[in-house]
Chain A
Amino acid sequence: MTKIKSLFISLLLTLGVSTAIAGSHGSTHDLVKDRGKLMCGSNTGLAGFGAPNDAGVWEGIDVDVCRAVAAAVFGDASKVEYVPTTSKVRFTVLQSGEIDMLSRNTTWTLSRDVDLGLEFVGVNYYDGQGFMVSKDLGVSSAMELDGASVCIQVGTTTEMNLADFFKANGMSYESVPVETNSEADAAYLAGRCDIYTTDASGLYASRAGYPDPSAHVVLPEIISKEPLGPAVRHGDSEWADIVRWSLNAMIIGEELGINSGNVDEMKGSNNPEVLRLLGVDAGYGAMLGLSDDWAYNILSQVGNYSESFEKHIGPNTPINIQRGLNALYKDGGILYAPPFR
């Protein structure tokens, strides 16, 4: 009889646990506050976008979005735990609730936004898929790539763009699928493939780490639109708003000329939008469920978009990317944030 009793008890316990799991989907914002840190899904290592530096501290423009959200929620940009994700598992990790947000050079597409239960909240880098080849192949255009072997990361939009591009131009290729960026680098450098294709930003980042970066060239053709941005789970609009406006605050900061150096001076500005952004005019933080100095914290601790860009991937870094499309709309780019009012 005791056997039956213990069986009953254990079954009741399992049932209890499974209902408890089902019931625990509260607001992500509350969950983050209770935990005391933000769980942010990052790349496994892509220089300039999301990678640990020599001291083991995560850095990059994707990482800065995580830091901005932590600054907005906690007033402390360092309260982030980074969860490195491969391109294959990133959505599952987000869906399962293991991370609160994903900021990992991820392309915003319809099927991901709608079918995977995700919510993309903005774009922090406008990218497009490119090709990198070794200079000594003497190739100057992607139209000359018929019959080549192509290294490609699995589980990405690049895979489908590549198939479409070669098909549309009547060319054949051999795909060499690899799991991570570093495996792709290894296979490309070993000569297993002629071409490495991924988002152009990723190519620049990879090339910067090669033994002889000048021996490789990124071809001029960009074959796709790849708007990269942070994503959260679908169905929690309050949390999506916080992440969206943390990113927007960085962009608006650049627009208004506020950076981490002058943010305290700017509190005395006579531009009403600056005063609203920095929380001198109260009330906007409360709409998001945050303190009024949330954007002040972002700009003083993380800096504006331009600072983040120049520090991690700009022309003065080894990655050496021009602002291009990612300049503000008034400087010839398409970076644009809705008004702060």
Chain B
Amino acid sequence: MQTSLIRKIIFDEKSRSLLVQTLVIGLFALFIYLIAQQTAYNLEKRGISSGFDFLNISAGYDISIRLIPFTSEDTHLRAYFVGLLNTLMIAVCGCILATILGFLVGIIRLSSNWLFRNIAYVYVEFTRNVPVLLQIILYYSILLNLPKIKQAFPIFNTFYLSNRGLFSPSPIFKEGFSIVFYSLIIAIIFTIFLKRFLKSKQEQTGNQYPIFFINSAIIIFTPILFYYIMGSPLEFDHPVLKGFNFKGGMVIRPEFLGMLFGLSIYTAAFISETVRSGIISVSKGQREASQSLGLKSSFIMRLIIIPQALRVIIPPLTSQYLNLTKNSSLGIAIGYADLVHGFGGISLNQTGRAIEIMLIVMLTYLSISLIISLSMNIYNKSVQFKGNA
């Protein structure tokens, strides 16, 4: 009996591979366990405290670039959320700007105009082949050479540009503005139904309707109408130079702009190559066939070429978004208060909880990346070829 069992394990491919795999997983788990054990032991031996209790201690430092209120008396946990929001803000703004720029440059690179095509070519080759950190520092240094605060450059006497950022009026919402806001949401929902209705009508009758113009008009004019009905419930707080700095209004800091330019200009170069290859990948016959059907050239691009190109573009585009998000951790180089700079840097230094904080930060980046991948995969499925080919 026993010999047959051993014989089975050694010579039966299925059970043998099962055994080996179990063994490898077990040893790997043991390895991780031993490392964790050893780390805990070493920390204790060196008298370094550990644990997550530090999250509820007040942080003791201030963060200037923030989306939610934060003072030095708030906890490290809140500092984490301030940093997380800053990371998400630069990631979202960066991805949007990089996508717009990338699509433009990708299309320009296929243009028949020699000058445009080659300017785009030089841009792509230059930005792709210079480390993004250097580009971020370059843009930041340029921004630091803007006029000093006392000589801030006025734009229409409303915005002020200086090396401490772009100062702009901030909106103050008065009573009744919420109705304007709700009217906008209702208008958007209405246009979605209207679009479906007009589309089905087009399929029945063959008549085309200027859906885009009708819907744009509805979305723009409804809130404006309600804005005046409610008696203009919106005022602006204008920035005024007082003492050392501008008081009032909002400000976009040079640290944010440096990051935004650096990340999106760098990533846009990669996206433009993705877009170019996507468009080229659509076979020539598609364009020729639609031309012979007599379609307008803008229709050919929008209805025939782009939908097919997207199938090729989306997967590499996802990885560019992931790269941009991860590269946002370079904010530390120019003092942009992202997750790594504030929580992963200052909090780490004040509390000394390097392992705990790095674990939290790494898990956070992992979650952000997985969420981006997941939503891009859902979008990717929606543009893939549907049918039973």
**Chain A residues engaging chain B, CB cutoff 8 angstroms:** 4, 7, 11, 14-15, 18-19, 21-22, 25, 87-88, 91-92, 95, 111, 115-117, 137, 145-149, 154-156, 159-160, 162-164, 167, 173-179, 186-187, 190-192, 194, 233-235
Contact = CB atoms under 8 A, between A and B. Distances in A.
A95 B335 contact: no
B109 interface: no
B281 interface: no
B49 A115 contact: yes
A160 B72 contact: yes
Contacts of A178: 335
Interface stretch (B96-104, B182-190, B319-327, B341-349): B341-349
A88 B349 contact: yes
Interface of B: 20, 23-24, 27, 31, 34-35, 38, 41-42, 45-49, 60-64, 71-73, 144-145, 148-149, 163-164, 242-245, 247, 254, 332-333, 335, 337, 341, 345-346, 348-352, 354
Contact of A174 (B72, B163, B243, B245): B245
B63 A175 contact: yes
9 contacts: A7-B24, A22-B38, A22-B42, A95-B46, A116-B48, A146-B243, A167-B71, A174-B245, A191-B149
A163 B48 contact: no
A173 B345 CA distance: 21
Nearest to A3: B20
B337 A192 contact: no
B20 A160 contact: no
Given A148-B244, A187-B144, A95 B48 contact: yes
Contacts of B148: 191
Contacts of A194: 244
For A4, A22, A192, the residue with the greatest tally of chain B CB atoms inside 10 Å of its CB is A192
A43 to B, nearest CB: 16
Contact of B341 (A146, A149, A177): A177
Contacts of A155: 345-346, 349-350
A190 B144 contact: yes
Contact of A14 (B31, B62, B332): B31
Given A88-B345, A116-B48, A167-B72, A160 B61 contact: yes
Given A115-B352, A117-B47, A155-B349, A190 B145 contact: yes
Contacts of A233: 46
A180 to B, nearest CB: 11
Given A14-B31, A177-B335, A194-B244, A163 B60 contact: yes
Contacts of B35: 18
B243 A147 contact: yes
Contacts of B24: 7
B72 A164 contact: yes
Contact of A192 (B48, B63, B163, B345): B163
Nearest 5 CB-CB pairings of A with B: A155-B349, A163-B72, A191-B148, A117-B48, A148-B244
A160 B346 CA distance: 10
A137 B243 CA distance: 10
B360 to A, nearest CB: 17
B37 to A, nearest CB: 10
A192 B48 CA distance: 38
Nearest to A89: B349
A177 B346 contact: yes
A154 B242 contact: no
B349 A22 contact: no
Contacts of B337: 177
A144 to B, nearest CB: 9
A15 B60 CA distance: 41
A191 B20 CA distance: 64
A149 B47 contact: no
A25 B45 contact: yes
Contacts of A22: 38, 41-42
A149 B244 contact: yes
A88 B72 CA distance: 19
A116 B345 CA distance: 15
For A4, A159, A187, the residue with the greatest tally of chain B CB atoms inside 10 Å of its CB is A159
B60 A147 contact: no
Contacts of B45: 25, 235
Contact of A176 (B145, B335, B351): B335
A21 B244 CA distance: 54
A92 B254 CA distance: 31
A21 B45 CA distance: 14
Contacts of A7: 24, 27
For B31, B46, B345, the residue with the greatest tally of chain A CB atoms inside 10 Å of its CB is B46
A91 B352 contact: yes
A160 B352 CA distance: 15
Nearest to B147: A191
Contacts of A164: 60, 72
Contacts of B244: 137, 145-149, 194
For B20, B23, B346, the residue with the greatest tally of chain A CB atoms inside 10 Å of its CB is B346
Nearest to A10: B27
Given A21-B38, A159-B60, A179-B333, 20 more contacts: A4-B23, A7-B27, A11-B31, A22-B41, A88-B349, A91-B349, A115-B352, A147-B245, A149-B149, A154-B346, A155-B345, A156-B349, A159-B61, A159-B62, A163-B60, A167-B73, A175-B64, A192-B254, A233-B46, A234-B47
A162 B46 CA distance: 31
Nearest to B27: A11
Contacts of A186: 144
B182 to A, nearest CB: 35
B40 to A, nearest CB: 11
Contacts of B164: 149, 174, 191-192
Contacts of A95: 46, 48
A315 B45 CA distance: 45
A233 B243 CA distance: 47
